[in-house]
Chains A and B, each alone.
Chain A
């Protein structure tokens, strides 16, 4: 009997707590977005929570596209305040934000990240050109027998593409389409390799995109989800497999994996920052101005992120793998972030 009374009490207390939930004001900053920016943003958020009286912001890793989707849903505390992205906002996303009432958005470029192709340290070090990457991973490639014709990708081994490459089956693990890393890889590496062919370059833009941006689906390219750690583990076990991910993962796991040089360039911070390394991209976050003042601490969080101690040349984000922008550019961006200058949509 006693047990029954106890259970009933718990049940009642719980139901009351569950029913009386008003849509209430929020005092914690909500941040969503890219899994590539997540390691940087979480470090900033934790420091911010530790060194100020504001609660530590809450971060969800949703991918750049997923983050911008949530971000542009509307204004109000049930929607996120900031979204991180490993690519720039697309004009279509800006439009969607505008039509949902998210009018004033401040854009902050936080620095750069290189996309690396890496394999196990036990395997030989190789060099790929962008063209070879495209031929290995695209759905359709130019006919190897010559002519301006596209055929389904016939290559099964790296040595089929170029005899100087290893005589091993092509096996590359990469991120899914929701990931900003995938977008950037496709846009920079695949398209870069694809444009080496004149007849593709001459196609009209949407045809060209569909050729260059389609990854093969017959096995050699494996979509591995947003969990980059999983890729690292697989690479360590299987020396024939390559993985695609952000530079910070290479840095953290340099004991187990090594980078492939692309067009002969090793992915070093200097080479990525100067864009000498061909597959580099910028990282961003976007602030919803309408929430500033409603949710406490947004301005202070942005100030912490854009401080020299964080994103500067010797800042703590560099330790986590961020590649800083040049100093004068940083100063300019920090100033605009402080004033919360809204985007016009024309810069995209």
Chain B
């Protein structure tokens, strides 16, 4: 009797401590989640804070008199004349109409620097295509020079105005007031390839490059990965060789990605003589990297198909191949697709293996096919982040946002596919 009571007492006494322990344990878990969420929030806040200005462009809209004398150009169909003509002079003249006080040669030069170097090409291209427009007045929307753009976007922060002279700042403020300088959505970012001028740099080249590379990766890794998974799960005999293969596939999944780049450099470029910097080689390297992920997730998906389904199919006389093709693969498909999409999302964010096969490069033209030089999104972000011009800092963050959007879309697709194709039994 006394024994029982004392035991109950011991339990009761320790109860409080046990509850406290449990509360503490829960608190640790909540703390862990809080830390994870907080660092994510800080990361996002930083990226959005730095990058939102990347989606804004600064334009200068001017009525430019295309005066043939001023440009030293009387025949825009003549290539020699085009290359010798001065297309900056009419822009400066148009700016001067709004800022008549800028008169000396030095001031004119400063005026010309308000506009990015693509301004002159805009006039040149227009005249080359439409020679009849010579000696007329046309309205142009020029992109402001990077420094002006940074100044306009960060007017409240003196750290960003250091590159713009005080005189230029006064001019810019005046033009802003008159509505000549304006900001709008940065469509350039989504319609051009890379440039050394932040105002003209776009991410389209990298997006197309990423898509082409991912297509090659998908085309190789998906069928090969699924075939390997099906064979290993369904057909392969259980012996030392298959054990050895299994261990190696698991090992391969843990190999640092740069190793695949070295392999690609040695085999695809060195041995097969494929060109550098092209999506085909990039896609093949990334496919090798994603293969283990797809095989492992594919095998797990096949394993999760209940044996009763196989037995039922075999019971009504289906052959092994019919069982696999008609029952096992369709049921395992959601899991296989999820694994593949996650593997692809990983490949989308990869730069290290691409460094060695030359896809970390300055490429201006938007790639038109699998054999054109290309970069991918994360590489573009890296290149912008390591450029010295201030305008690239915001572009890099804007690029990160674009990449994250792609990643989130791919993951959402994986979830949607799984939900749609999932079958319960």
Contact = CB atoms under 8 A, between A and B. Distances in A.
Interface of A: 4, 7-8, 10-15, 17-18, 21, 23-24, 26, 28, 30, 38-39, 42-43, 45-47, 49-51, 55-56, 58-61, 77-78, 226-230, 232, 248-249, 252-256, 316
A43 B118 CA distance: 12
A256 B362 CA distance: 26
A38 B362 contact: yes
B124 to A, nearest CB: 8
A-B pairs with lowest CB-CB distance, top 3 = A14-B219, A255-B162, A56-B364
- Most-contacted residue by chain A among B223, B272, B283, B388 (CB, 10 A): B388
A316 B117 contact: yes
Interface in B339-382: 358, 360-365, 370-371, 373
A19 B362 CA distance: 27
Interface residues of B, number: 45
Given A10-B219, A51-B121, A59-B361, A21 B274 contact: yes
A21 B371 contact: yes
Nearest to A41: B362
Contacts, number: 118
B401 interface: no
A176 B361 CA distance: 20
A309 to B, nearest CB: 10
8 contacts: A14-B220, A15-B219, A39-B387, A45-B364, A60-B362, A228-B388, A249-B388, A254-B162
A229 B387 contact: yes
Interface in B210-228: 215-216, 218-220, 222-223
B275 interface: yes
A58 B363 contact: yes
Do most interface residues of chain A lie in helix, strand or loop, or is the interface mixed?
helix
B276 interface: yes
Contacts of B386: 226-230
A30 B388 contact: no
B77 interface: no
Given A58-B363, A60-B360, A28 B159 contact: no
A9 to B, nearest CB: 10
A191 B152 CA distance: 46
A58 B163 contact: no
B273 interface: yes
B273 A23 contact: yes
A37 to B, nearest CB: 12
A55 B284 CA distance: 25
B276 A30 contact: yes
Given A28-B373, A227-B385, 6 more contacts: A4-B333, A17-B280, A18-B370, A45-B364, A59-B361, A78-B275
- Most-contacted residue by chain A among B195, B360, B362 (CB, 10 A): B362
B208 to A, nearest CB: 15
A308 to B, nearest CB: 13
A316 B365 CA distance: 21
B362 A78 contact: no
Contacts of B223: 8, 11, 15
B162 A11 contact: no
- Most-contacted residue by chain A among B216, B272, B333, B386 (CB, 10 A): B386
B277 interface: yes
B52 interface: no
A46 B121 CA distance: 12
Contacts of B363: 56, 58
Given A11-B223, A23-B275, A252-B388, A17 B196 contact: no
Given A23-B273, A51-B83, A78-B275, A229 B385 contact: yes
Contacts of B272: 21, 23
B269 interface: yes
Interface in B111-161: 117-118, 121, 159-160
Contact of A56 (B222, B277, B284, B365): B365
B422 interface: no
A290 B64 CA distance: 46
A226 B390 CA distance: 18
A252 B390 CA distance: 8
Contacts of A254: 162-163
Nearest to B283: A18
A13 B364 contact: no
Interface string B166-199: 0000000000000000000000000000011100
B204 to A, nearest CB: 14
B83 to A, nearest CB: 7
Contact of B388 (A39, A51, A78): A39
A8 B387 CA distance: 42
